[in-house]
Amino acid sequence: MAGLDRRAFLSLFGAAALVPAARPGLARPAVFPLADRELMVPVKGGRIYVRTNGVSANGRLPVLLLHGGPGGMHSTFHDPLELADERMVVLYDQLDSGRSDHPDDPANWTVPRFADEIDAVAAALGLARFHVLGHSWGATIALEWAARKPATLAGLVLASPFISGKSWIADVTARRAALPADVQAVIDACEAKAPPPQATCDAAAGAFYAAFNRREPLPAMRKAYEAAQNLKLNERLYVAMNGAGEFTQTGTLKDYDGEPLLARLDGARTLFVIGQYDETRISTVAAFAEQVPGGAEFAVIPGAAHGIFNDRPDESVAVVRGFLRRQDALAQKDAPAAQGTKP
> Alpha helices of the chain — where are they, by DSSP H?
111-125, 137-146, 165-176, 181-190, 198-212, 220-229, 235-241, 282-291, 308-311, 313-334
The Cα–Cα gap between 224 and 240 comes to 28
> In 243-274, which positions are buried (b, 16+ CB within 10 angstroms) versus exposed (e)?
bebbbebebbbbebebeebbeebbbbbbbbbb
> pLDDT value at position 21?
41
- Taking only Cα atoms into account, the Rg of the chain, rounded to an integer number of angstroms, comes to 19
Q: What is the pLDDT of residues 119-173, one digit of tens each?
A: 999 999 999 999 999 999 999 999 999 999 999 999 999 999 999 999 999 999 9
> pLDDT value at position 248?
83
Residue pair 333/95 in contact by the 8 Å Cβ criterion:
no
**Residue 12 clears pLDDT 90, i.e. is over it:** no
Residue pair 300/11 in contact by the 8 Å Cβ criterion:
yes
> pLDDT value at position 210?
96
Q: What is the mean pLDDT of residues 184-192?
A: 93
> pLDDT value at position 27?
63
* Percent share of the chain, pLDDT over 90: 83
> pLDDT value at position 30?
83
As a whole number, the mean pLDDT across the chain is 90
pLDDT band at 249 (very low <50, low <70, confident <90, very high): confident
> pLDDT value at position 2?
32
Tell how strand 270-275 and strand 153-159 pair up. parallel
Q: What is the pLDDT of residues 260-303, one digit of tens each?
A: 999 999 999 999 999 999 999 999 999 999 999 999 999 999 99
The Cα–Cα gap between 144 and 115 comes to 6
Query: By three-state DSSP, how is residue 300 classified?
Result: strand
> pLDDT value at position 277?
98
In DSSP notation, 188-252 reads HHHTSSS---HHHHHHHHHHHHHHHT-SSPPPHHHHHHHHHHT----HHHHHHHT-SSSS---SG
Cross-strand pairs, 42: 47
The Cα–Cα gap between 300 and 40 comes to 35
Tell how strand 46-53 and strand 37-43 pair up. antiparallel
> pLDDT value at position 205?
93
pLDDT band at 246 (very low <50, low <70, confident <90, very high): confident
Choice among 12-26, 174-188, 211-225, 280-294 with the minimum mean pLDDT: 12-26
pLDDT band at 26 (very low <50, low <70, confident <90, very high): low
Cα angle 71, 76, 78 (rounded to 5 degrees) comes to 150
Cross-strand pairs, 175: none
pTM: 0.90
Residue pair 230/194 in contact by the 8 Å Cβ criterion:
no
Please tell me what DSSP assigns to residue 155: E
Question: Among 176, 191, 81, 65, which Cα is nearest to 117's?
Answer: 65
Residue pair 157/292 in contact by the 8 Å Cβ criterion:
no
